[in-house]
Structure formats: structure tokens, C-alpha cells
């Protein structure tokens, strides 16, 4: 039996230790440089103030121009290429832009419009057109699907920023500095095995990552078992050592004993991040559409964009983007400024609010389960299931403001909602499978544990120290595997 343990560990290690070494090294890079993305903070900071002189066509006209048959999932008004545009998103379909001055739907974005959008993003830097692309090294994210094809523009600013511009709306949807692009070649791009994308195996990429991680987990478990079996607690070997190995084999043995358990948890939790075999997908998900109280339509928003902007100005709020939102059937217009702060205009009474009433959000949430039990609480501090992460982390761009309203339902999946008191947005849906994922992925893989996260650089020291231990374990395995193949 022992012989088979050794054989399985040896040959799995020969094939997988290189992947493990790459994962540990690239993981350390990702602690400080994330995959390129345009964060909300960057988005609003590069927008000019909304100036709606001689503007705009009414919302009903814009909706009919965008798509007279379907209701959008979201409606925004923003400056794009120095022109006001209504921006509509639809589930599973391409985004749509409507010229707010003329009411005409925009045609696909070409070179000159892309350059105009880049000049709005940075009026000082020289912009060079780099052509259209459907997907490349820095645009693999599925969040960009509604914007493809993407127009690329290179800026000659200090960061050598590469902009990705929606081929449907002209909006800048991603920026990637030279530093991000360079480090990501040995960071997220390597960690997520993105070199396998774009070479004809895209449909198999997810399964490749899942089964490589599964095999690496098995290899690490076998190694831990062998490491314990080969370590002598009572009687040392003839050499006087408690390990029978020398050189790299000794490094590998002792490294496995010290860091093997953590290596197993990291590889296993990386596997869990892929949601293998849909383990964390709800069998009966709670439909949150009822929270809105109906489709987004012009009838719920009698106040025009120009009048709303004037009311925000009167409150000393310099809006850069407007967003139409429906909560329990009532219309609200959310304004964002350059720092990402918000104000809300109620369509019912015309009041400008900094925060929405808790009772309003509770009433809207109850519509999701009209006959079911619901419990709500207002969080004033972060906890295990609602917390902020550094911006470069995978989900760090998602704003987590406090206080926030948590609503718990007594449905079969024991669903929780986190509702933004500042905008009314549903920030997250956490049912039982997703809460299990929070333990098996976010905790074990990123160590998203508040006592560590809130005590940086303690968290950094923890992550780097154990990553280096895993790297020693993996590199020594690569050397041993190479020597075995050479024989």
C-alpha cells in the first residue's frame, strides 16, 4: 500500500509541482496587483460634471429608441465622449446608448468616437487608436460581455494606460496601466491559467482548472501522509536525522511537514473558487426581481433629468452621473459625484436624501417572500459576511459602505440580502450555498478574516510567509521531479 502512495505522489508531483510553484508565486503578486479593472472610484473620477444645457429628450423617448419591446435592467445618464448619453443594460444582451440630445440610438462605436471617449478620460494625454478586439489578455472578464467588441486606445500618460471602450456605448469600461499589465503576466494572468485562453480550448478552460486543482489537492494530501510516515519521532535514522532524505528531498520533506496542511487548504480552496460541479449554485434561488416592484418605465419618473440635476445643484451636490432606480414600485433618481458619493431624489415628494429610509427597503424586500418570515438588522460595523477588501483584490472594487441593511428570509435556502441604504441597491445575495463558499473559498484562500484583515501588515506577513513556504515545497518538488525524469 505504501508503495502505491509513493508512486501516486511522485508521478502526480512530476506533472503538477510546476503548476503549484506558479500558483504560489503568482498568488504573492496578486496580493498587491490585481487583474486590470475600472473601479467605480476611477469611473466617477474621470467623468466630467453633467451639464444638461438644451438637453435632454425625455426618458420615454430614450426608452423607445433603445428597445421598445423590452424593459432595461438599468438606466444611467452620463457624459460619454463629451456628449450626454442615456446608457441602458439588458440581461444577456448588449448594452445600448441613446444620444440624450437627439434621442437617436447610437450605432456601433468606431475609431473617432473611441478617441473622443479617451480624450474625455484624460484631456492631457495623447491618445493612439489600437483597434478593436473581442477579447484579449486584459479583457477576459465575463462582466465585459455586454460591451464587446471593445475598442482599444493607448494613452501616453505617466502610467501608459490602455483603455478599453465599449463597442456599443462608447463608455470606457476598463483601464490597464503598464504596471498592471507587466505584473499580471506573472500574477493573475498566470494564476488563473489564462495562457490557456485564446488557443482553441476556451470551452475546456474551466474544467482544466478544476481537474488540475483536484489532482493537485490529491497529490498534496498523499504527500502529507507520506511525510508523516517517513518522519521518525522516537528513533532517528542512522544519520541522526529524523528525516531519511538529503538535499532537495530533505527540503521537500520538512517543507511539506511545515506547510503541507496550508498548501492543501490553498489548493482545495482554489478549486472551490471555480464552483466545481455547481456545488454552490442554489437549487431554489430566491428571485429578487420583485424587490424593484415592476419594470423600469418612464411613468415612475415624472421629474426630468434637467430638473433633477438642478435640485441636486441646489443642495451643493455636483452630479457626474444619474441612475434611475425603482424600489417597491416607487421611483428614485440616484446621483453620483466624482468621489463616488451619492444623493437620492425621491419622485414622490421631490426630496433630496443622503440615505433612504430603512422601512422603505424592508417593505421592498418583503415583496420577495410576501407570506414568509423576514428579519432585518442594520449593520454599523463589518462582520464575517459583509466586509471591505483592498481595491486590487478580486472583489475589492465593490463598494461596501456602512451602515448597511441585512435582511434574512425563512425560505428553503435561508437567503440573506445586503441592501445599500444610500442607493437602495441589492449589494449581495447570500444563501446557504454561498455562505458555505464564503468559508471554503474566501476564508481558506484569501484569509478574509477580520482580525487579520484589520491588522495589516499582520495579514501581509501571514500570507507572504506561508506563500514562501508553499513555494519552497513546490520548487523542491519540481527539482525532484526533473531529476526523476532525467533518470
Number of C-beta neighbours around residue 214 at 10 A: 15
Q: How far apart are the C-alpha atoms of 242 and 236, rounded to whole Å?
A: 5
Q: How far apart are the C-alpha atoms of 42 and 38, rounded to whole Å?
A: 6
Residue-level pLDDT at 139: 95
Average pLDDT for the chain: 92
Answer whether residue 4 shows pLDDT above 80.
Answer: no
pTM of the model: 0.92
Which CA distances in Å does 327 have to 48, 72, 89, 299, 319?
28, 15, 18, 14, 21
Residue-level pLDDT at 286: 81
For residues 341, 347, 350, 354, the Cα torsion angle rounded to the nearest 10 degrees is -20
Residue-level pLDDT at 83: 93
Answer whether residue 84 shows pLDDT above 90.
Answer: yes
Q: What percent of the chain has pLDDT over 70?
A: 100
Q: What is the mean pLDDT of residues 223-242?
A: 86
Q: Which of 3, 4, 6, 24 is nearest to 14 (CA)?
A: 6
As to burial, measured by CB atoms within 10 angstroms (0-12 exposed, 13-18 middle, 19+ buried), residue 358 is middle
Q: Which of 341, 338, 277, 345 is nearest to 309 (CA)?
A: 345
Q: Which residue in this structure is represented by grid cell 485562453?
A: 197
Answer whether residue 1 shows pLDDT above 80.
Answer: no
Phi-psi region of 394 (alpha: psi -120 to 50; beta: other; left: phi over 0): alpha
| 466, three cell numbers | 506561508
Residue-level pLDDT at 323: 97
As to burial, measured by CB atoms within 10 angstroms (0-12 exposed, 13-18 middle, 19+ buried), residue 13 is buried
Answer whether residue 482 shows pLDDT above 90.
Answer: no
More confident residue, 238 or 91: 91
Residue-level pLDDT at 443: 93
Residue-level pLDDT at 267: 94
Geometric angle at alpha carbon 423, from 417 and 424, rounded to 5°: 35
Residue-level pLDDT at 52: 81
| 151, three cell numbers | 475598442
pLDDT tens sequence across 432-459: 999 999 999 999 999 999 999 989 899 9
Answer whether residue 200 shows pLDDT above 80.
Answer: no
Amino acid at each position: 500500500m505504501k508503495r502505491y502512495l509513493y508512486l501516486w505522489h511522485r508521478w502526480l508531483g512530476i506533472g503538477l509541482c510546476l503548476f503549484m510553484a506558479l500558483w504560489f508565486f503568482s498568488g504573492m503578486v496578486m496580493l498587491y496587483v490585481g487583474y486590470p479593472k475600472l473601479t467605480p472610484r476611477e469611473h466617477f473620477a474621470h467623468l466630467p460634471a453633467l451639464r444638461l444645457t438644451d438637453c435632454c429628450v425625455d426618458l420615454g423617448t430614450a426608452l423607445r429608441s433603445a428597445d421598445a419591446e423590452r424593459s432595461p435592467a438599468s438606466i444611467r445618464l452620463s457624459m460619454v465622449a463629451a456628449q450626454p448619453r442615456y446608457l441602458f443594460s439588458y440581461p444577456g444582451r448588449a448594452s445600448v446608448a441613446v444620444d440624450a440630445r437627439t434621442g437617436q440610438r447610437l450605432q456601433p462605436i468606431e475609431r473617432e468616437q473611441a478617441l473622443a471617449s479617451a480624450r474625455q478620460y484624460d484631456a492631457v494625454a495623447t491618445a493612439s487608436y489600437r483597434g478593436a478586439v473581442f477579447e484579449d489578455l486584459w479583457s477576459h472578464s465575463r462582466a465585459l460581455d455586454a460591451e464587446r467588441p471593445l475598442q482599444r486606445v493607448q494613452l501616453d500618460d505617466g502610467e501608459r494606460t490602455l483603455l478599453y471602450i465599449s463597442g456599443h456605448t462608447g463608455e470606457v469600461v476598463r483601464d490597464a496601466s503598464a504596471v498592471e499589465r507587466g505584473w499580471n503576466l506573472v500574477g493573475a494572468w498566470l494564476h488563473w491559467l489564462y495562457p490557456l485562453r485564446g488557443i482553441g480550448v476556451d470551452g475546456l478552460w474551466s474544467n482544466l482548472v478544476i481537474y488540475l486543482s483536484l489532482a493537485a489537492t490529491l497529490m498534496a494530501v498523499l504527500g502529507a501522509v507520506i511525510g508523516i510516515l517517513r518522519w521518525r519521532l522516537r528513533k532517528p535514522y542512522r544519520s541522526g536525522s529524523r528525516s531519511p532524505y538529503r538535499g532537495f528531498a530533505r527540503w521537500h520533506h520538512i517543507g511539506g511537514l511545515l506547510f503541507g496542511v496550508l498548501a492543501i487548504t490553498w489548493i482545495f480552496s482554489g478549486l472551490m473558487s471555480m464552483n466545481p460541479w455547481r456545488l454552490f449554485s442554489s437549487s431554489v434561488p430566491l428571485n429578487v426581481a420583485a424587490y424593484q416592484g415592476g419594470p423600469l418605465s418612464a411613468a415612475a419618473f415624472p421629474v426630468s433629468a434637467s430638473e433633477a440635476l438642478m435640485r441636486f445643484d441646489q443642495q451643493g451636490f455636483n452630479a457626474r452621473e444619474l441612475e434611475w432606480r425603482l424600489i417597491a414600485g416607487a421611483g428614485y433618481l440616484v446621483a453620483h459625484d466624482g468621489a463616488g458619493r451619492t444623493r437620492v431624489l425621491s419622485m414622490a415628494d421631490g426630496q433630496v436624501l443622503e440615505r433612504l429610509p430603512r422601512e422603505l427597503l424592508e417593505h421592498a424586500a418583503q415583496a420577495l417572500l410576501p407570506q414568509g418570515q423576514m428579519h432585518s438588522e442594520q449593520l454599523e460595523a463589518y462582520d464575517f459576511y459583509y466586509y471591505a477588501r483592498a481595491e486590487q483584490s478580486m472583489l475589492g472594487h465593490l463598494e461596501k459602505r456602512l451602515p448597511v441593511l441585512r435582511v434574512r428570509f425563512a425560505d428553503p435556502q435561508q437567503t440573506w440580502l445586503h441592501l445599500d441604504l444610500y442607493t437602495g441597491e441589492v449589494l449581495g445575495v447570500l444563501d446557504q450555498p454561498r455562505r458555505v463558499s464564503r468559508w471554503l473559498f474566501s476564508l481558506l484562500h484569501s484569509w478574509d478574516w477580520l482580525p487579520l484583515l484589520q491588522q495589516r501588515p499582520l495579514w501581509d506577513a501571514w500570507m507572504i510567509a506561508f506563500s514562501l513556504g508553499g513555494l519552497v515545497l513546490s520548487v523542491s518538488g519540481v527539482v525532484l521531479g526533473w531529476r526523476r525524469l532525467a533518470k
